[in-house]
Structure 1
Amino acid sequence: MRVHVVCTTHWDREWYLSAERFRFRLVQTLDAVLDLLERHPAYRFTLDGQAIMLEDYLEIRPERETEVRGHLTSGRLRAGPWYVQPDEFLVSGEALRRNLDLGMALVRRFGGEPVMAGYLPDAFGHLANLPAILRSRGIAAAIFTRGPGPEVSALGDLFCWRAPGGEEITAHRQPIGYGLTLSPDPEAARSQLRTALEELQAEANSHEFLLQLGSDHSRPQPFVPDLISEVGAPFVFSDHDAYLGAVQAEHLTLLSYQGELRSGQSHPLLSGTLSARLYLKQRNYALDDRLRFTIEPLLALARPYGAAPPETYLRRAWTLLIRNHPHDSICGCSIDEVHDEMDVRSQQAESVAEELGRDALERLGQSAFAGCLLVLSPQEGDRRLTTELLLARHEVTAGALRLGAQPAQFRVLRSALVSTLAGLVAELPQWLEQLGDRHPIRFLSWTVRDTHLEGEVDEGARAPDCPPPDTLIAEAIAAGVQTVELRVYQTLVQLSVDHLPEGEVAALKLQVAEAGVQSPPEQVPGLANGQLSVEVNREDGTLSVTEHASGQTWTGLHALRDVGDRGDTYTFSAVPGAPIKSRLLRTEPGEPGPAFGSLNLTYELTLPRQLTPGRDARSPDTVTMLIQTRVVLWNSARHLEFQTTFTNTALDHRLRVGFPGDGAGSLADSAGVTVIRPELRPGPETANWAEQPADAHPLNHWAAKQSPAGVWGVASRGLSEYGQESGLSLTLVRSVGWLSRDDLPERPSQAGPPYPVPGAQCQRIIQAEYAWFAAYQTAEQLGAAALAYVHPPRGWLVPTSPQSPSAEG
């Protein structure tokens, strides 16, 4: 028997304090660690399975880098493999892999070798596909605390964890939690060690035990090196790799488990974090999608043309994004200051992405793509393009258009005069340069009247026929112009087409159709294509959808329901009372066109303003929220798309949109695989759990139910929580005002400090994009359609340059 004593500290980089305030404590902590390593040759310390602690420390203590490098090289100081300790369900599987790449590279940059165990002590549950993600980076083990249910606890502290694809790792469940703080009294500390050993033995599958010393933001206890030396066998200083290596040397036959770890039996699962501050999750989703499916493909296409920017720019964008992925950060369960700083990181990453995309498009202007609409399709399956473009006003109203061989339609989102510039002609070059910094100049026109020039500029993707700005300057000077007035317009439109060519990349000509494109008939309050017919209930605005082929009708779709929430950022806690339903104010037909039809629905929702002072009921005073939803039915689609916008003016509530339908439990995609989530409700068997089961499940991209008609479901671009009772529902907003509370029946213990967090009330404009899918024969078919929706084709009008070759349509 041997007890591997791993000295550590669980370091939430930001949580109830900001990152900089915690860094102040981190520097003091690692100063103490380095001093103990210097004084005690047998002592070892592990940096919580993440490497960013090295970066944060050495930015303040660069003079101690030599010491850090020496201890990393010797293996007495360990870090990684993660860059940050992530939440697994609220970020993409690719982001988890990039997280590992950054962490392992950082440790090696400072002269060490990363810990080769997926150490996730405090993550709020674990992915079914985590074994495959870890194996993809050469990691063959995981160590965790939260998430196991009765079926996993029965396996003991070690088991073989198998991913759906067959990848296997050795998993260690920490029976007594991820850290122990010892008493400074020697006899009391020895008693704690004996008790811990007995508890570990009770669930052990091996003669090798793992005991961690150190907890949340704890500094190393200076008496521990002498204490462990005096106690002696079976206690030895160790690290995760040494412990797992000793386990492997035993050649144990371990029981196997396949599936997620999302139970609140032993430790609170804290599933309310799936919907706390949803705006953070949506912004993270959009930036992840942009980097993977826009910026990286554009950079790859542009590589042969011109000098590419350094690869460190792309790494910088990913690093900024992943710094938002610690579980207390992306989960929305920190103080307001933390989440304000997350917005800054997101803005910085978006700025890098913007410049990388602009540079790639300019270099593609020297390729055969010049002058064409470049379309990238991230997913196979039905390809429907909806992309925002900045185009000249005269082209927006040009009539019937084609993209390649397909009819296309424009939807004008905004067309406005954004500025007027007036002054001397000498200022014209500076104005044009400033405009070019914001947007390429798409369209120029001007008239010279005596010594005065009147011009119009439309900002946007540069058109092939747009004269260079230098031409305007030269003509103005030649004409003796002395004064200039420029009116600057910005026209934002959406270009849509129902069918795109096969393949990931297409370069298509956008042109006015010669003939043969008929205007669609005038729409009535409903939608129909060759597959689905949609009707609107005039009272509550729910939809009835009939599938033509099967004759099946779904009713009550898109039901807006609101309930009071007395919980905190960690846990939803419903206030007694029936859900409040919306009322339909009006239905208006949207823009007709050759690609899709649409309806604009306006709902009214009258809600209690907040909770009563006793927090056991909703207040009698009310606020009214107007909810605008645009419903889109593409011409050849078997799904409906929704774009919903409202200003959240109520406090202490949760608003969901529901889609009734048959089926028990749910299917969902999760980091690249499909998982099954059975229904589990609070009952006698869960009465003693650390947290009661909740109808709140992580939404990666889509969720579905198996019904007699087939597999039907929902999908979303960035919404991260769904419910599976009485159909499927999506959370649009959850408003709470407390970081943590200790008076919730669902979770009797505190999950964090009892701090007020007014920002978690989400008093802001809420925008959500989601879809409902009629039944498919298999989950694979529905999943392919859903992924084609959540990661749609995207397009850009590639500018031209004097060196551009002629492009093929």
Structure 2
Amino acid sequence: MTSAPLHVHVVCTTHWDREWYLSAERFRFRLVRTMDAVLALLEAHPNYRFTLDGQAIVLEDYLEIRPEREAELRRHLASGRLRAGPWYVQPDEFLVSDEALRRNLDLGMALVRRLGGQPVMAGYLPDAFGHLANLPAVLRSRGIGAAIFTRGPDPQVAALGDLFCWRAPGGEAVVAHRQPIGYGLTLSEDPQAARAQLRAALGALQAEARGHELLLQLGSDHSRPQPFVPELIGAVGAPFTFSDHDAYLAAVRAEHLTLPVYQGELRSGARHPLLSGTLSARLYLKRRNFALDDRLRFTAEPLLARAAPSGGAPPEAYLRRAWTLLVRNHPHDSICGCSVDEVHDEMEVRFQQAEGIAEELERDALARLAGSPDAGRLLVLNPHAGAFLDTELLLARAEVAGGAARVGGQPAQLGAVRSALVSTLAGPASELPQWLEQLEDRHPVRWLSWTVAGTHLRAEVDEGPRAPDCPAPDALLAEAIAHGVRTVELRVYQTRARLTTALAGTAPAQALDLAAASDLPAEGAGTARLLGAHLVVEVDHQDGTLRVTERKTGRVWPGLHALHDVGDRGDTYTFSATPEAPIRARLLSAEVAERGPVRQSLDLVYELRLPEGLTPERDARSPATVSLLVRTRVALWAAARHVEFSTSFTNTARDHRLRVHFPGPGRGSLADSAGVTVSRPDLRPSADTVNWAEQPADAHPLTHWAAKQDPAGSWGVAARGLSEYGHADGLSLTLVRAVGWLSRDDLPERPSQAGPPYSVPGAQCLRALTAEYAWFPAFAAAEQLNAAALAYAHPPRAWLVPARPSPPPPP
């Protein structure tokens, strides 16, 4: 370093968790008081600046209560003395998609600009539980050239100092600032003590500084601005001046430093707890988030685009509203499952609201396609070139009677038929138009028949997409009037069938003919094994695992799909195993569920006798036990090179972790993460980690797939919404992790508190749960496994597009 003078950029802020140990509405009371205090200081001190924690949603939250202060807020945003963004909310990076991160930035930056300000152009992530290897690319996609963070650096990264060039695997790079003393300092109200704190902070920052520009943040979790700070900094003077993140980064760039380059994830608990237990806390939230993200990206938006030429599209605000509701569930304390139960109950409401918007957008798009070339056909959307379609359709009862069909000429199975009388209506004929309108609001009429006896009309209706030969409801009303009908009885049936077929093409969108078939081979009883073109799956009745044989090479994979359960004395932030040996599941039954030309499946039923919880001392599992029944459907497509699983159970035990294990060779693991492949070493607690803030754990974020490498290539697992895997002695997927405390201070893996010591019974996940995942044998290259896993995780989806009824013949 040269002898240039030091410059300390003092950024006043508050780390604002919108919801955490209180709900968003409870925290809003504190937010309004905090913002009132910020505005008062900005008015009183012309040199004062304040930064709103890198997120913009707090502006919305404040103005909903203080709309009368919008002009004042706008004035300070326009002047640059009040800063916000670029994020809409402070996200967790590993539990949401990279597309959701980009939408988060879009929402945040747009909000700041609507209020007259310019968003901070730094990816500020002070408290996220680790950082993506591809975060530089995500930031660069929105014109952001810097990242500021606290958690995640390992000793190698810490040795780089407070500044380095962080490069994504694709080459995109940002200036990265690691905050050496954390993301916020609270000063003593005693002037001399406060000055001593500033001197100590300056020394700590200098010790790790690469240049002469230093960043010091004042303000911590949910803290209000300290009113004496403007006078204190003014009195202390150089090298301390009020600043913001953009001004600091501009000064860093002006130094023209030669920065060391780092490429990779930031997921270490060496300096700060990584809190990897949040990957599996309240897994039901992660699965629902994955499903809704998938629906918005790969169903609602493509359907809207396909229907656009038909005109009459709903306002774009609907789709924006759905994404906004989803992103509001992405703050790190929210999607991570480490808040009080009230917070996560409200998250489920937001998911439900966004799902409702998505469903209405899809219904509207399909209705507008009724006049397009897709009308009356099966529209297939295929976001990742999947070869296998498994979808549920509303059909007329007569259409599913044969149990088989053809899709675009390809054989298809129709199974799992559920036909039920869902509504009966009886009353005067004058109410018939209203009934039919209500029916149309739920599902359009697919098939309709009626008989007239005297003045009474009896009608039967099948719900589903309308076909061209289905009379319009007006025709029913006209005939009723013509026959002098006075009373009407309407019976409504709903028939759902599961259609499975191998697709002839893998185009992103195609409309195919769906027709009944009578020449397909019938299902046979068969034995409890699955036979495909590439794989043979057999059940080992001794231990309940599966043995898969690759037909081409003869390689046998034994012991697959072993269910292991261990006690967990940890909290929502950290898994902490009790000392007992894992409990293994006992296979109760294995039966053929499906044996057709397209797909075969087995139903496996397991039982685990689990301790009901922990002993009062919390150091072991309790002697009292409960039964946990696990039902797994194992499916093998005739032409597939992978095996699919759907596992359902109602969790009956507390304080435990249930994983499904797939043994196999290989060290560490590969995994996809925000669109790139990362390598993760097998790091375990050792003498080198004894002084870490949190010990390393065999818990890693799962976006879509994880793999191990052996001489034959890369083999692995994939999942739809499961977010944690282990890579010790093979690959494991966490199906549930049940704990009862937000945070504890008696865990050997993490001796410090990570949050308030509150009881959170909802985190025990005593509810019905379902997990969908797949196993893949070795592919020659990881890129091939990536393609196959993405096609599984985001499979093709299909709908019967309604067709407008034929016009009635002329009188």
**Which of 623, 627, 639 is matched with 2:626 structurally?**
623
Which ranges in structure 2 are unaligned for 5 or more consecutive residues? 1-5
SS at match of 1:433: helix
Alignment of 1:415-564 (within 5 A): 415-513=419-517, 515=519, 517-564=520-567
Per the alignment, in what secondary structure is the counterpart of residue 725 of structure 2?
A: strand
**In structure 2, do the counterparts of structure 1 residues 399 and 287 end up closer, same or farther at CA, with 3 Å as the change threshold?**
closer
CA distance in 2, matches of 1:491, 1:574: 47
How far has the Cα of 1:420 moved from its partner? 2.0
Mapped contact 2:404–2:414 kept (Cα < 8 A): no
Q: How does 1:637-786 map to 2 (within 5 A)?
A: 637-786=640-789
Q: 1:210 to 1:632 in 2, by over 3 A?
A: same
Q: What is the match of residue 3 of structure 2?
A: none
2:337 aligned partner = 332
Helix, strand or coil: the match of 1:518? Answer: coil
Q: How does 1:114-263 map to 2 (within 5 A)?
A: 114-263=119-268
Return the letter of the residue paired with 1:450: G
1:36-55 map, 5 Å? 36-55=41-60
Match of 2:271 among 241, 266, 273: 266
- Structure 1 SS opposite 2:250: helix
After superposition, the C-alpha distances for 1:2-45 in whole angstroms (9 at most, x for unaligned) are 00000000000000000001111100000000000000000000
Q: Structure 1 residue 701: deviation in Å?
A: 0.4
Offset at residue 521 of structure 1 (A): 4.3
Distance in 2, matches of 1:783 and 1:101, equals: 28
- For residues 292 and 651 of structure 1, the distance between their equivalents in structure 2, rounded to whole angstroms, comes to 36
Q: TM-score, normalised by structure 1?
A: 0.98
Give the % identical residues: 75
Q: Distance in 1 between matches of 2:711 and 2:292?
A: 38
**Which amino acid in the other structure matches residue 693 of structure 1?**
P
Deviations 1:224-246 (A, max 9, x none): 00000000000000000000000
The yes-or-no answer on 1:395 pairing with 2:391 is no
Question: Deviation digits for residues 632-655 of structure 1, max 9, x if unmatched?
Answer: 100100100001111101111110
- The amino acid that maps onto 1:467 is P
| CA shift digits 1:690-749 (9 cap, x unpaired) | 000000000000000001222100000100000000100100011101000001010000
Q: Report how far residue 520 of structure 1 moved.
A: 4.8
Partner residue of 2:114 out of 94, 105, 109: 109
Give the equivalent residue in structure 2 for 1:96.
101
Please give the alpha-carbon distance, in whole angstroms, between the structure 1 residues aligned to 2:359 and 2:369.
Answer: 15
CA contact (8 A) 1:569 1:738 kept: yes
Tell me the CA shift for residue 424 of structure 1.
2.0
Taking a change above 3 Å as real, the CA distance of residues 399 and 680 of structure 1, as seen in their structure-2 partners, is: closer
Q: Distance in 2 between matches of 1:386 and 1:110?
A: 46
TM-align CA RMSD: 1.2
User: Partner residue of 1:56?
Assistant: 61
Which among 73, 76, 79 is matched to residue 78 of structure 2?
73
Q: Which amino acid aligns with 1:237?
A: F
SS in 1 for 2:594: coil
Deviation at 1:523, TM superposition (A): 2.2
Conserved? CA contact 1:662–1:707, under 8 Å: yes
Partner in structure 2 of residue 354 of structure 1: 359
Distance 1:428 1:652 in 2: 55
Gaps of 5+ in 1: 805-809
Q: TM-score, normalised by structure 2?
A: 0.98
Deviations 1:478-515 (A, max 9, x none): 22222222222222211111123231111111012364
Q: Decide which moves more: 497-506 or 30-39.
A: 497-506
**Pairing 1:307-322 to 2, within 5 Å after superposition:** 307-322=312-327
State the match for 1:34 in structure 2. Answer: 39
Mark the CA change 1:803 to 1:484 in structure 2 (over 3 Å): closer, same or farther.
closer
In 1, are the aligned partners of 2:403 and 2:415 still within 8 Å (CA)? no
Of 354, 367, 374, which residue of structure 1 is paired with 2:372? 367
Q: Does the 8 Å contact 1:451/1:479 carry over to 2?
A: yes
- Cα displacement (A) at 1:446: 2.0
Report the Cα offset of residue 475 of structure 1: 1.7
**Partner of residue 409 from structure 1, selected from 409, 413, 419:** 413
Determine the C-alpha separation between the residues in 1 that align with 2:796 and 2:408: 15
Match of 2:583 in 1: 580
Moved more, 469-478 or 168-177: 469-478
The CA deviation at 1:465 is: 2.9
One-letter code of the match for 1:686?
Answer: T
Report the alpha carbon displacement of residue 468 of structure 1 after superposing the two structures with TM.
Answer: 1.7
- Tell whether the 8 Å contact from 2:465 to 2:803 is kept in structure 1 after alignment: no
Deviating above 3 A after TM superposition, structure 1's stretches of 4 or more consecutive aligned residues are none
1:345 counterpart = 2:347: no
User: Could you tell me whether the CA contact under 8 Å between 1:389 and 1:461 is conserved in 2?
Assistant: no
Cα distance in 2, alignment partners of residues 63 and 573 from structure 1: 50
Equivalent residue number for residue 807 of structure 1: none
Instruction: Provide the rounded CA distance (Å) in 2 between the counterparts of 1:413 and 1:701.
Output: 30
- Correspondence 1:305 to 2:310: yes
Distance 1:415 1:14 in 2: 43
- 3-state secondary structure, aligned to 1:591: strand
- Residue type of the alignment partner of 1:540: D
Distance 1:633 1:476 in 2: 51
Change over 3 Å in CA distance of 1:726–1:792 after alignment to 2:
same
CA distance in 2 between partners of 1:520 and 1:458 (Å): 27
Distance 2:432 2:335 in 1: 46
